[in-house]
Structure 1
Amino acid sequence: MLDGLMAVFRRELASYFATPVAYVFIVIFLILAGATTFYLGGWFERGQADLQPFFAFHPWLYLFLVPAVSMRLWSEERKSGTIELLLTLPLGMGQAVLGKFLAAWVFIAIALALTFPMWITVNYLGSPDNGVILASYIGSLLMAGAFLAVGSCLSAISRNQVVAFILTVMVCFLLLLAGFPLVLDSVGALFPQGVVDAVAQLSFLTHFAAISRGVLDLRDVLFFLLSIAFWLYACAVVIELKKAD
């Protein structure tokens, strides 16, 4: 089982760096991360050596950048017809889905890891709480994985990458806003408090904010891991249904 998964993982990860697209994505991510931190986040004006403004913009950067990565995961395979070849190989559906997801997640992790000069900079300029920064990096990677799992599922729905991109942005946007008062007030006007509480718990932003405060609560970590598992399972189901078309 592990051999099949690793074969898909290596194939997918190598494909990212076989074209300039991967490098363009990484450069854009690094530029936007720096711009939002130092300019929109007012890092210089705060007069405090920490990375709070840096992580505060991650959900909004991922909202557009992660769907740009995930939209090709299955849409491209379906459009080119290579999905039939992939699924005839001696590996299970779970291995194919997980292998492609892990390759994309590692690719995003590489982009995130390349922001390490910012961590070095704040330590040079002051004495930040490195435990909080480490927790924030972990939370950011988990959130990116959840975004990616959503995108993987929605990529399997359509042959068109643009459609997959738009669908992923819309769904992830809703999952980000699920904990906002405006959304909860709207839900509360139609449903009982139990439903409101359940919707609030679906917010990626709420769970990421809790982790970025430096508290790696098991509930927040499990939320992201279970979200990833749910959407990847849904992805496998969608692909199975599409095989019957």
Structure 2
Amino acid sequence: MSPVLAIFRRELASYFATPVAYVFIVIFLVLAGAFTFYLGGFYERGQADLQPFFSFHPWLYLFLVPAVAMRLWSEERKSGTIELLLSLPVTMWQAVVGKFLAAWAFLGIALALTFPIWITVNYLGDPDNGVIVASYLGSFLMAGAFLAVGACLSAATRNQVIAFILTAVVCFFMLLAGFPLVLDFVRAAAPQAVVDAIASLSFLTHFAAITKGVIDLRDVLFFLLTIGFWLYASAVVIDLKKAD
């Protein structure tokens, strides 16, 4: 068994060893349903699609994903088990990837359990299921990007609350990077090239493009490269902090 797979299985099993995982999943499902059918006006719209469902995902992830990510490395550092983990015959990169993939799989399970909403919309109408599949893919990729940011910031502190707050703040900025409010502020002090670069960092912009049913390779690569960057940063931070 490869070290990454061994860490993945250990970490994923640890999520379901306590009631916290089940509480998280229930909260996610309840909020997703409430936002879709009540705040999103699912029935009032009279359209057979899941646009109200996916439109709230970025804001759900803004609070729920940091709650998952904050324990990835902060808990290991606080309890001192990070030294034991890194003393095993695994590389730093294998440990980072294994723990990340386990947390991402956990988020994927929570997302997959929303399938009754998909069944409901098919029962009530004739939706474009290709668009829904693309939206699920985009949501999963965005959750991974949120999680990678959280993994890096969790590695930077022993305090889980601080890790949660930092992750929420950074991810909030990554969501709003493409909004006129942010771009107008940057445009007043920076050239257009900088404005365009900041706009391209918006999670919301790339996610919205995928939810239209068009899986553009540029949007997929954006999320994958974002995940790769923050995971690399996590490995660097852990290496710098492991002596603390």
- TM-score normalised by length of structure 1: 0.99
C-alpha distance in 2 between matches for 1:160 and 1:118: 36
C-alpha distance in 2 between matches for 1:242 and 1:161: 16
The 4+ residue runs of structure 1 with deviation greater than 4 A are none
C-alpha distance in 1 between matches for 2:237 and 2:84: 17
User: Equivalent residue of 1:72, what SS?
Assistant: coil
- Residue by residue, what CA displacement relative to the aligned partner does 1:197-220 show, whole Å, maximum 9, x if unpaired? 000000000000000000000000
Segment drifting more, 42-51 vs 145-154: 42-51
Look up the equivalent residue of 2:98 and give its one-letter code.
G
Structure 2 residue aligned with 1:234: 233
User: Equivalent residue of 1:49, what SS?
Assistant: coil
- Residue by residue, what CA displacement relative to the aligned partner does 1:63-116 show, whole Å, maximum 9, x if unpaired? 000000000000000000000000000000010000000000000000000000
What is the Cα deviation at residue 6 of structure 1?
A: 0.7
C-alpha distance in 1 between matches for 2:120 and 2:39: 18
Gaps of 5+ in 2: none
C-alpha distance in 2 between matches for 1:89 and 1:108: 27
Structure 2 residue aligned with 1:217: 216
- TM-score normalised by length of structure 2: 0.99
What is the Cα deviation at residue 244 of structure 1?
A: 3.7
Identity score, percent: 81
Look up the equivalent residue of 1:94 and give its one-letter code.
W
Structure 1 residue aligned with 2:49: 50
Equivalent residues in 2 for 1:1-245, closer than 5 Å: 3-245=2-244
Measured on the aligned residues, the alpha-carbon RMSD in Å equals 0.6
What is the Cα deviation at residue 49 of structure 1?
A: 1.3
Look up the equivalent residue of 2:161 and give its one-letter code.
V
How many residues align structurally?
244
C-alpha distance in 2 between matches for 1:10 and 1:80: 20
Look up the equivalent residue of 2:180 and give its one-letter code.
P
Look up the equivalent residue of 1:88 and give its one-letter code.
S
- Residue by residue, what CA displacement relative to the aligned partner does 1:179-232 show, whole Å, maximum 9, x if unpaired? 000100000000000000000000000000000000000000000000000000
